[in-house]
């Protein structure tokens, strides 16, 4: 065992007993390389992060320039820093829907936390609704939004006044009332195994929120930045949230997140009392420089326009007796197997065969495909052929020998 592997197992805290344990050498474009020189085609993007692939030159150069110019100067929201100003301006112009104020934070979970606080303060109400099967992050407040008590019971008490509604159930929306501060949901439930909201449902949520003065928070942390074939999934559904949450692909591989809302609503944080949400590192200039390069590249190149074609190609090629069905929304895809007991062997054997995919948190019968959006048709064919060969091996148990 290499020294680094030993130290990893001894000193780097583990989140499971069986980490993938790939010893990384470097990464470029669609590939990650391990220290033994083995090359892995990335069909996961570090869970929907690396939309432009690894070490995209525009992102690398933005980071290098910013590191050499200035890094930390003051906690968030005090100094005028050009990466933040330019990013917020560009995002507001691009959205062009009244969501014109960006509060930068460090990650998705923090965006969720801050949005809950903003909704409670702005409405003076305490009830929060989320949907069964949702995942919004891993702090106590974000975990309280999770419906699966088998997991959350170890971390109780959750935050009070959270109720869970069945997803995609229009009738259940009568539970949104004048007491509800906000409802938070994902346009496509990612960790549940890629379950898109129906357009009728999202429109009904919007309508009910308008009737009751409830704020609609859309968690686009996983669906954002082109993953579904639109810059943001809500654009496809034709609704505008009151608060939009973004992270993951936003930073082009750097850690950053944000909540985006109309400036009148966002001002709730800056008075009575001031400092409603504060962060030392949120909106770090190096991360936002990377985010700006990512956004500029995504809007100027054709990657997002090509997403649906690539999704179609994947769906056409992925046919095998061990695949029961495929659910997808753009380049976020769940490949459901005919048998749950095949899932771990498939994912592990795919890694051995040079392809990176991943599990879902709540769907124990499907593996995740979410490649960088830059993937070419040839790379799709190559990845699919690894998947089909791997499934053949599983089917014939040759992986055991």
Ligand X SMILES: Cc1ncc(COP(=O)(O)O)c(C=O)c1O
Restricting to residues 176-205, which ones interact with ligand X according to CB under 6 A?
A: 186, 190
Binding map of ligand X across residues 241-260, x = CB under 6 A, - = no contact = ------x---------x---
| Burial (CB count <10 Å: 0-12, 13-18, 19+), residue 296 | middle
Q: Which stretch binds ligand X (CB under 6 A): 129-137, 233-241, 270-278, 334-342?
A: 129-137
Binding of ligand X by 105 (CB under 6 A) = no
Which lies closer to ligand X via its Cβ, residue 136 or residue 164?
A: 136
* Cβ-proximal residues to 272 (8 Å cutoff; 6+ apart), any chain: none
Q: How far is the CB of 247 from ligand X (least distance, A)?
A: 5
As a residue count, the chain comes to: 401
**Coil, helix or strand for 12?**
coil
Which lies closer to ligand X via its Cβ, residue 87 or residue 380?
A: 87
Which lies closer to ligand X via its Cβ, residue 57 or residue 166?
A: 166
Return d(Cα 241, Cα 224) in angstroms, integer.
13
Q: How far is the CB of 248 from ligand X (least distance, A)?
A: 6
Structure tokens of 310?
């690539």
DSSP string, 71-137: ---SSTTSS--HHHHHHHHHHHHHH-SS--EEEEESSHHHHHHHHHHHHHHHH---EEEEETT----
Binding map of ligand X across residues 37-66, x = CB under 6 A, - = no contact = ----------x-------------------
Restricting to residues 253-292, which ones interact with ligand X according to CB under 6 A?
A: 257
* Cβ-proximal residues to 397 (8 Å cutoff; 6+ apart), any chain: none
Binding of ligand X by 331 (CB under 6 A) = no
- Residue of 42, 113, 143, 219 that binds ligand X (CB under 6 A): 219
Tokens 């570090």 found at: 46
Provide the binding-site residues for ligand X, judged by CB under 6 A. 47, 107-109, 112, 135-137, 186, 190, 219, 221-222, 247, 257
């Amino acid at each position: 065992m290499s020294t680094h592997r030993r130290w990893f197992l001894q000193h780097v805290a583990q989140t499971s007993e069986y980490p993938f344990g790939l010893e990384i050498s470097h990464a470029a474009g669609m590939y990650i390389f391990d220290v033994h020189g083995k090359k892995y085609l990335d069909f996961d993007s570090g869970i929907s992060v690396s939309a432009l692939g690894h070490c995209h030159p525009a992102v690398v150069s933005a980071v290098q320039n910013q590191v050499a110019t200035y890094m930390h100067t003051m906690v968030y929201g005090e100094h005028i820093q050009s990466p933040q100003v330019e990013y917020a301006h560009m995002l507001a112009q691009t959205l062009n829907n009244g969501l014109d104020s960006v509060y930068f934070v460090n990650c998705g979970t923090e965006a969720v936390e801050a949005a809950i606080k903003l909704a409670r303060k702005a409405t003076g109400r305490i009830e929060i609704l989320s949907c069964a099967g949702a995942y919004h992050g891993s702090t106590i407040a974000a975990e309280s939004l999770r419906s699966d008590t088998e997991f959350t019971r170890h971390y109780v008490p959750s935050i009070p006044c959270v109720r869970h509604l069945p997803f995609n159930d229009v009738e259940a929306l009568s539970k949104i009332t004048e007491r509800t501060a906000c409802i938070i949901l994902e346009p496509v439930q990612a960790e549940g195994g890629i379950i898109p909201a129906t357009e009728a449902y999202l429109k009904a949520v919007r309508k009910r929120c308008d009737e009751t003065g409830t704020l609609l928070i859309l968690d686009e942390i996983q669906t954002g930045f082109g993953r579904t074939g639109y810059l943001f999934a809500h654009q496809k559904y034709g609704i505008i949230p009151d608060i939009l949450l973004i992270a993951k692909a936003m930073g082009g591989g750097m850690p950053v997140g944000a909540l985006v809302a109309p400036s009148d609503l966002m001002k709730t944080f800056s008075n009575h009392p001031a400092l409603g949400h504060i962060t030392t590192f949120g909106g770090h200039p190096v991360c936002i420089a990377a985010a700006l390069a990512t956004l500029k590249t995504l809007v100027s190149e054709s990657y997002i326009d090509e997403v649906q074609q690539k999704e179609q190609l994947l769906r056409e090629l992925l046919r095998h007796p061990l695949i029961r069905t495929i659910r997808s929304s753009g380049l976020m895809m769940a490949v459901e197997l005919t048998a749950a007991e095949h899932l771990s062997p498939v994912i592990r054997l795919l890694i051995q065969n040079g392809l990176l995919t991943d599990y879902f948190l709540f769907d124990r019968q499907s593996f995740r495909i979410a490649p960088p959006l830059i993937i070419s048709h040839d790379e799709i064919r190559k990845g699919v052929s690894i998947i089909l060969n791997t499934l053949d091996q599983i089917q014939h148990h040759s992986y055991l020998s």
